[in-house]
A and B are shown apart, each in its own frame.
Chain A
Amino acid sequence: AQSVTQPDIHITVSEGASLELRCNYSYGATPYLFWYVQSPGQGLQLLLKYFSGDTLVQGIKGFEAEFKRSQSSFNLRKPSVHWSDAAEYFCAVGAGSNYQLIWGAGTKLIIKP
């Protein structure tokens, strides 16, 4: 069955430290992969996406993600986090037409001053 796993429910990092949020997927075909960010009480915003081509994709707000087919992973990274990065991050996989995405449960990022 198609699924997306974000193994970390919460992650706490110090401001200025590097960040990696994990995402693993199970999907029968070449996936479309997405990372979205949700600030508290708000809707979701697309950070970046992978469709094809270069497996390292750059997104907004200084984020990047790397697609590793052999590991079925699409981990999100940022070299130096800012307090404004505190939010919940969702990984999603494209599942056919009508943009029906399969979503991970989310990882809440907490920034220590």
Chain B
Amino acid sequence: SQTIHQWPATLVQPVGSPLSLECTVEGTSNPNLYWYRQAAGRGLQLLFYSVGIGQISSEVPQNLSASRPQDRQFILSSKKLLLSDSGFYLCACPGGPGTGELFFGEGSRLTVL
């Protein structure tokens, strides 16, 4: 089954600094990959999804960008962080054909000060 690794687990960054969160997937090939953000006390918001290398779709306009340089790597970035970028970022991939399930990584908690 799939395993999703996210790095770093926790990050504290000043406003205006850059960001790079990494997600790597094992146990599957050419998966769809997703970045979600979970703000405190709120549900999950889909930020980006990717169906393959170099293919990124953005769900909401924002200060963030995503890239997929390799089949099993999905990166979330920002050139200049805002306070509102604070949150818990989750990477996910489908559980398998027809399951409808998403597998999630352990998340990266970002605090922007």
A3 to chain B, nearest CB (A): 11
Contact with A34, one of B92, B94, B101 (Cβ below 8 angstroms): B101
Q: Tell me the complex Cα distance, A104–B45, Å.
A: 10
Contact B43 A46 (CB under 8 A): no
Report the Cα distance A104→B41, complex, angstroms.
11
Of the residues B43, B90, B100, B105, contact of A99 by C-beta under 8 Å:
B100
Nearest-CB residue, chain B, relative to A42 = B106
Closest to B34 in A: A99
**B113 at interface by CB-CB < 8 Å:** no
Q: Is A32 an interface residue (CB 8 A)?
A: yes
How many residues of B are in contact with the other chain, CB < 8 A?
24
B17-71 with Cβ < 8 A to chain A: 32, 34, 41-46, 49, 51
CB neighbours (8 Å) of B109 from chain A are 41
Within 8 Å of chain B (Cβ to Cβ): is A74?
A: no
Q: Does A11 sit at the interface, judged by CB under 8 A?
A: no
Tell me whether A100 and B42 are in contact in the complex, defined as CB-CB below 8 angstroms, given that A41-B109, A43-B90, A46-B102 are known contacts: no
A56 within 8 A of B: no
Residues of B close to A49: CB separation below 8 A: 99-101
Q: Is A17 an interface residue (CB 8 A)?
A: no
Q: Judge whether A101 and B43 touch: CB under 8 Å.
A: no
Known interface pairs A42-B106, A43-B107, A98-B51. Does A9 touch B41 (Cβ–Cβ under 8 Å)?
yes
Contacts of B92 in A (CB 8 A): 44
Q: Is the CB of A41 within 8 A of B100?
A: no
Q: Which residue of B is nearest A32, CB measured?
A: B100
B5 to chain A, nearest CB (A): 11
**Contact pattern, A 97-111, Cβ under 8 Å of B = 1, otherwise 0:** 011110111100000
Binding site for B on A (CB under 8 A): 4, 9, 32, 34, 41-46, 49, 51, 90, 94, 98-101, 103-106
